[in-house]
A and B are shown apart, each in its own frame.
Chain A
Amino acid sequence: MVELETTQGVKTLHKIFLEDVYSIPGGEKIRLCQQCGTCSGSCPTAYLMDYSPREVIAAFRAGMLDRVLKSNTIWLCTSCYSCTVRCPAGIKVTDIMYELKRLAIKYKSWPSSSKNPAMSKIFIDHVHRFGRSYEAGVIGQFVLTQKPSLAWKFKGLGTKLFLSGRMPLLPKSIKGKDEFHKIIDLLATKEVSQ
């Protein structure tokens, strides 16, 4: 198990991850998981996942972080919240998937084939820059940096979206971007101090 120097001393990565997940509201409820599989059975993308949401929780509790971070599961979550609504133990499965995504990015550990972390990162960068999503920029940067062949594949859809005014070429910023940045910066320092 990887050991890390933290402000509270040397801890295993597993312990840090557990503490992190427990710190989100309701996060400690993963202790109550009875492995019934309601989350997986309710998940619309479970059939694409190498480990089901239930298995991710089991692996995470067992300290098998490699399984959790190298699986495509957390990146295929579509945030439909079916699992969260139905979980008999009240586990906020979707929120935990988000937390695991954050941790995976923080420790730069994800399946080598997956482009989802790059997509998440580009999306967040754009939101940070303009205060809102800028689709043409996001998709442009993603295609150019990750997989240029996609440009050919999606040219038809892209043209349609552009012509119907759904994907303007130039970015639009929100009002009060400075205040928005202050909020984000404050949140970032909070996260660091945690």
Chain B
Amino acid sequence: MADEKIAVYFCDCGTNIAGKVDVDEVVKWAAEQPNVTVAREYKYMCSDPGQDLIKTDIKELGVTRVVVAACSPTMHEPTFRKAAADGGLNPFLLQMANVREHCSWVTEDPVEATEKAKRILSAQIHRLPFNEALQPIEVPVNPDVMVVGAGIAGIEAALKLADAGKKVFVVERDPSIGGHMAMFDKTFPTLDCSACILTPKMSALGKHPNITLMAYSEVTEVSGYVGNFKVKVRKKARYVDTDKCTGCAACTEACVVQKVKSEFDVGLGYRPAIYIPFPQAVPLKATIDPAKCLTLSKGKCAKQSCVSACGPGAIDFGQQDEQVELDVGAIIMATGFELFDCEREARYGYGRLANVITSLEFERLSNASGPTGGHIVMKNGEAPKSVAILHCVGSRDENYQEFCSRVCCMYSLKFAHLIKEHLPETEVYELYIDMRAYGKGYEEFYKRLMDEGVHFIRGRAAEVSDVALAPEEEGRLVVKAEDTLLGIMRRLPVDMVILSAGLSPRRDAKEVAQTFGFGCSANGFYLERHPKLEPASTMTDGVFLAGACQYPKDIPDAVAQAGAAAAGALTFVNNPTVKVEPTISYIDPEKCSGCHICVGLCPHAAIQFNAEKEVAEVIEAACKGCGVCVAACGSNVPQQRGYLDKQIFAEIEGALAL
């Protein structure tokens, strides 16, 4: 050990480090430390000439250990490890000393910074003689991919992967795929029909030979490890044999329970207890709502008319939920969003005042396949003579959601256009704080709406009331707001109020993220690996994100991210193997007493108990190197490679040696 030849490289990082730390002094000091053969300073170690220094010294000076004092190892450790390997040294014989994030960036006094840099460096110089050469572990990658959620983002990602020749499992919670986009009437700013552009993709997904669609199903458990996930999926009972069901809908007409509020029409319309959510549903199969079906909920239905109506005899009241296990190499999360709960903003009267509706309700109201056949009407069936559209409901508000939901300005403009198109005489008021028309063709769309005669009032609505103070307000809704451009208070008597509600994370987003082993941002949406450079990846290798589950997005952005997620998953599963960091735990069978403590504590189920030898054993591919077993063992038996006790203690001694 005493014969180790350590090379020290100190990076200036321009002025990031050298601007605070006296590099000359530290390098001079380092050259005199035990085992140090050479100590050098360089302006940018990560540059090619900087990396070449390491390679040359390994070859010419016979360096056996390397420490690079530079930035955080999360930035450039892979770069320098590769340089060491290229020079012929095992990459695990190189250590980084973080003198930027841990020192120069966070220390004000240059003298203190210089002292701290020495200590950080000293820790690594002391540690290095105990480092061992480690070999990366390679595990095979399962080439199949699972997509969770089949709105537009999930559909797009699944189709891309399937077209690339990958086997894809699509798991969707609802009876049909399509998500929110299937509920919309038109899409901004081009005003093409939402269903017309979505349904061909839905149909392609349903028929694709490489795709296994599991609708009306939920993921209950994810285990396994990188490239080899084991997923448990619960296929909820439809009480209909999907092999026999032809989707003819005869049962839905025959059902005696016709007045169940339709989820697809957000409660504005009705469906029977046995139903197909909408005519273009994929898969086009009937589903029985067990809470509303008389046979399933009360035990008796006098007629059982669905059974007699069904030609192929597909109704099966005895059907049970089914557990399916899938093996996949990568997962794409595309679980979407939920609309902000407008009842929380009580001052707008949603749920109390009949003609205050949410944006999603308006989508169904204006949709030709919706409950009114596309007629924009009030609860009494009459067309409104004036409509107010209130922006930022639940968004940009620290009482609810601080973020901007990004899509509401534009869909509000689309609503104004649809109202003007259906009812040219109707006055439309848009009450906004800032008009965010940032996308391609969006500003032009805003201008078009100004031209169409929509009244834009810059001011957030304060409240909606049904108390009339003037004859023209009798029997109508009154929106109170300040017109901030005029500096006057306004009372707008209108017949209908549309709340442009923000997009919220799914209410079970946290639990779902936990199931898959990644986290959520402070705002509740899934946390991406890097907000700019890896917006479609998660912290879990092999798990990717697409669509509004990461952050509110419009359709073009969701589709673009779905493409990125598909490309990420494809890159990942296209490699036959994946290298796993060898810094994992091992258990010496001679020393293990077989007490089981580590077995139960391992969060990755990577320790199994060998009953024959009565010792715990680490499953190398499953171990993630978290160190829980190392800390938990009463006899110090599990050790983590690369983080051995002697290495850690040497590091501490080094830091305290000055």
Contacts and interface: CB of A to CB of B under 8 A. Distances in A.
Interface string B464-490: 000000000000000011111001010
Interface stretch (A1-9, A85-93, A186-194): A85-93
B460 A36 contact: yes
B100 to A, nearest CB: 32
A37 B482 CA distance: 5
B421 interface: no
A36 B481 CA distance: 9
A41 B463 contact: yes
A52 B482 CA distance: 9
Interface in B394-450: 396-399, 433-434
A35 B484 contact: yes
A41 B480 CA distance: 6
B369 to A, nearest CB: 36
B484 A37 contact: yes
Interface in A45-90: 46-47, 51-52, 54-55, 86, 88-90
Interface string B484-503: 10010100000000000000
Given A41-B489, A86-B462, A46 B482 contact: yes
Nearest to B402: A88
Contact of A41 (B396, B397, B399, B482): B482
A40 interface: yes
B347 interface: yes
Interface core residue of B347, B396, B434, B487 (most chain A CB under 10 Å): B487
A35 B482 CA distance: 10
Interface core residue of B434, B481, B489 (most chain A CB under 10 Å): B489
A120 interface: no
A36 B398 contact: no
Interface core residue of A36, A46, A55, A88 (most chain B CB under 10 Å): A36
Given A46-B489, A55-B487, A37 B398 contact: no
A177 to B, nearest CB: 41
A61 to B, nearest CB: 14
**Looking at chain B, what size class is its interface with the partner chain?**
20 to 34
B481 A88 contact: no
B459 interface: yes
Nearest to A35: B484
Contact of B481 (A37, A89, A90): A37
A38 interface: yes
Contacts of B483: 37
A86 B398 CA distance: 10
Contacts of B463: 41-42
A55 B459 CA distance: 12
A146 interface: no
B396 A37 contact: no
A114 interface: no
Contacts of B392: 36, 88
Contact of A89 (B398, B482, B489): B398
Interface string B230-259: 000000000000000000000000000000
A173 interface: no
A34 interface: yes
B128 interface: no
Contacts of A55: 487
A41 B398 contact: no
Given A34-B433, A36-B484, A37-B484, A52 B489 contact: yes
Contacts of A40: 459, 462, 482, 484, 489
B461 interface: yes
Given A52-B482, A86-B347, A90-B398, A38 B462 contact: yes
A4 B396 CA distance: 39
B488 to A, nearest CB: 8
Nearest to A32: B398
A46 B482 CA distance: 9
A9 B463 CA distance: 46
A54 B433 CA distance: 13
Interface core residue of B458, B480, B482, B487 (most chain A CB under 10 Å): B482
Interface core residue of A35, A38, A52, A90 (most chain B CB under 10 Å): A38
B487 A52 contact: yes
A88 B397 contact: yes
Given A37-B460, A38-B460, A40-B489, A54 B396 contact: no
A39 to B, nearest CB: 8
A88 B460 contact: yes
Contacts of A46: 482, 489
Interface in B173-191: none
Nearest to B490: A41
Contacts of A42: 462-463, 480
Contacts of A37: 458-460, 462, 481-484
Interface core residue of A35, A51, A55, A88 (most chain B CB under 10 Å): A88
A37 B484 CA distance: 6
A41 to B, nearest CB: 3
B484 A54 contact: yes
Given A52-B487, A52-B489, A88-B396, A41 B461 contact: yes
B481 A41 contact: yes
B484 A88 contact: no
Contacts of A51: 487
A36 B433 contact: yes
Nearest to B479: A41
Interface in B548-569: none
A182 to B, nearest CB: 39
A41 B434 CA distance: 17
Nearest to B391: A36
A86 B397 CA distance: 9
Contacts of A36: 392, 433, 459-460, 484
B409 to A, nearest CB: 14
Contacts of A43: 489
Nearest to A42: B462
B487 A88 contact: no
A34 B482 contact: no
A38 B460 CA distance: 6
A47 B396 contact: no
A52 B483 CA distance: 11
Contacts of A54: 482, 484
Nearest to B488: A52
Contacts of B398: 88-90
A88 B482 contact: no
Nearest to B347: A86
A54 to B, nearest CB: 6
A51 B484 CA distance: 11
A137 B638 CA distance: 83
Contacts of A90: 398-399
B342 to A, nearest CB: 15
Interface string A85-115: 0101110000000000000000000000000
B594 to A, nearest CB: 57
6 contacts: A34-B434, A37-B481, A38-B460, A86-B347, A88-B399, A90-B399
Interface of B: 347, 392, 396-399, 433-434, 458-463, 480-484, 487, 489
Interface of A: 34-38, 40-43, 46-47, 51-52, 54-55, 86, 88-90
Going nearest first, the 8 A-B pairs with the smallest beta carbon separation are A41-B462, A37-B482, A88-B397, A40-B482, A36-B460, A37-B459, A42-B462, A37-B484
Given A37-B481, A40-B489, A41-B482, 13 more contacts: A35-B484, A37-B459, A37-B484, A40-B462, A40-B482, A41-B460, A42-B463, A46-B489, A52-B489, A88-B396, A88-B398, A88-B460, A90-B398
